[in-house]
Structure 1
Amino acid sequence: MVTRTARARYEGTGKTGKGWISTQSGVLQDQRYGFNSRFEDGPGTNPEELIAAAHAGCFTMALSFALAGAGVEDGTLETEARVKLDQDGAGFKISRSDLTLRASVPGIDEAKLRSLAEEAKKNCPVSKLLDAEMNLEVEIGAGADA
Structure 2
Amino acid sequence: MTIKRNGSAVWSGGIKDGKGAVSTGSGALKDAQYGFNTRFEDGPGTNPEELIGAAHAGCFTMALSGQLGKAGMTAQELRTTATVSMEKEGDGFTITAVHLDLVARIPGASQEAFDQAAKTAKENCPVSKLLNADITLSARLEN
In the alignment, what sits opposite 2:36? 35
Q: Give ranges in structure 2 of 5+ residues lacking alignment.
A: none
Q: Which amino acid aligns with 2:42?
A: D
Written as runs of structure 1 = structure 2, the 5 A alignment for 1:27-66 is: 27-66=28-67
What is the TM-score of this pair, normalised by structure 2? 0.96
What is the TM-score of this pair, normalised by structure 1? 0.94
1:75 CA displacement: 2.3
Q: Give ranges in structure 1 of 5+ residues lacking alignment.
A: none
1:29 match: secondary structure: coil
Matched residues in 1 for 2:62 and 2:114: separation? 14
Instruction: Give the length in aligned residue pairs.
Output: 142
Written as runs of structure 1 = structure 2, the 5 A alignment for 1:1-146 is: 1-141=2-142
CA contact (8 A) 2:75 2:104 kept: no
1:74 CA displacement: 4.0
1:73 CA displacement: 3.2
Q: Which amino acid aligns with 2:135?
A: M
Matched residues in 1 for 2:141 and 2:73: separation? 15
Q: Which amino acid aligns with 1:98?
A: H
Matched residues in 1 for 2:107 and 2:66: separation? 15
Identity, % of aligned positions: 51
